Amino acid sequence: MIEPTTTCPCGSGTEYISCCKPLHEGILPDNALQLMRSRYSAYVLNLPSYIVKTTHPASPQYSVNKFAWKRKITQFSQNSTFQKLEILEFKEKESLATVIFTVFLTQNEEDATFTEKSYFEKINDRWLYRGGQLKNGHAPNMVTTAEFKLLPLAYYEDSILRRKADPVNEITTDIKNLVEEMIETMDASDGIGLAAPQIHHSIRLFVIRVPIETENGGFDAGDVKVFINPILSNFSAEMWKASEGCLSIPTIRSSVERPREITVNYTTLDGTQIKEQFSGWAARVIMHENDHIDGILFIDRLEMEEKLRVKPILQHLKARIHDGRAL
Ligand SMILES: [Zn+2]
Ligand SMILES: [Zn+2]
């Protein structure tokens, strides 16, 4: 047990009782940096419930199986000797923030130090841990001087996701800047497609990273392609099924049946009109994103059995994101 007069493990130099303790007991942190520090001290003090409570449902660490998840956190805490936390960078813009930090620790007497660029999102006044990119060791080179370009995502049950989006009339500087921010947001979330309504702009525009198909039937993220006012046609009669996910509906993945090939007429960012054929994963991603600008979500396209399976997960997600309800 930690004594009330002990210095806080987060390294703030102040006492635990007036630092991370109130946060661990339910007071909301003022900013993402405070959350970051209190999550670190929760790992040190082995408080798995706090980690679970402050993890965004879209985080890759998020698990519906709370019991197994908490056990994993406890194992990590118990097998680690935490030396210190070093904050390298903190950036915040409205409901989004990034923190780059190094955690100095040992596991089984071996150095297990890592640097992480974490990404935080504020939902209903609560900052949540969204995910992060990891590097082994102390990696101050992860610090960036680039501008903060992440955009807040619209999540399941946000009405903008159900609107039929308006055409883009002119490719203005604002549109070009928006596309740049969309690409950064897509990449930060590890997505391979993002449509404008997903970042609260009801316009007919989406970006993808053209999937490069791999031998095992999967894909890697390829180059970026921007689609403005796309029109899909020539849907092949041949259909195929594959598992899809969506940045607006975190934690849910399900198999969707779609045509194998399509033709797309679209405008590029420099205003060129293009007619292009796509097949396989590229066609699938384009159809998924094109659905977004028509107000359709991939969960609408599931078979009845799958719809029933994901229903409780959707309800859980809704409660978590829109009502800000704790677990
Ligand atoms: Zn603290
Ligand atoms: Zn989507």
Residue 214's domain is classified under what CATH number?
3.90.45.10
Q: State in Å: Cα 319 to ligand 1 middle.
A: 29
pTM (whole model) above 0.75: yes
Q: What is the mean pLDDT of residues 89-108?
A: 92
Ligand nearest to the CA of 208: 2
Q: Tens of pLDDT along 21-32?
A: 999 999 999 999
Do 136 and 164 belong together in one domain? no
Domain coverage including residue 91: 16-142
- Which of 110, 142, 174 represents a domain boundary (last residue)? 142
Is 120 in the same domain as 177? no
Which tops the pLDDT comparison, 108 or 1?
A: 108
Separation CA 296–CA 244 (nearest Å): 14
Q: How far, in Å, is the centroid of ligand 2 from the Cα of 199?
A: 11
Q: Are 260 and 281 in contact (CB under 8 A)?
A: no
Between the CA of 98 and the centroid of ligand 1 the distance, in Å, is 18
Q: For residue 326, what pLDDT is reported?
A: 45
Which residues line ion ligand 1, judged by CB < 5 Å? 8, 10, 12, 19-20, 41
Predicted confidence band at 256 (pLDDT cuts at 50, 70, 90)? very high
* Cα–ligand 2 centroid distance for 202 (angstroms): 14
Closest CA to 258 of 227, 289, 229, 231: 289
- Among the listed residues 288, 57, 255, the one whose alpha carbon sits nearest the alpha carbon of residue 153: 57
Does the active-site annotation cover 89? no
Q: What is the pLDDT of residue 216?
A: 85
Statement: residue 82 has pLDDT above 60: yes
Given the residues 116, 121, 244, 289, the one annotated as active site? 289
Q: Which ligand is nearest to the CA of 249?
A: 2
CATH number at residue 113: 3.10.450.50
Average pLDDT, the chain: 91
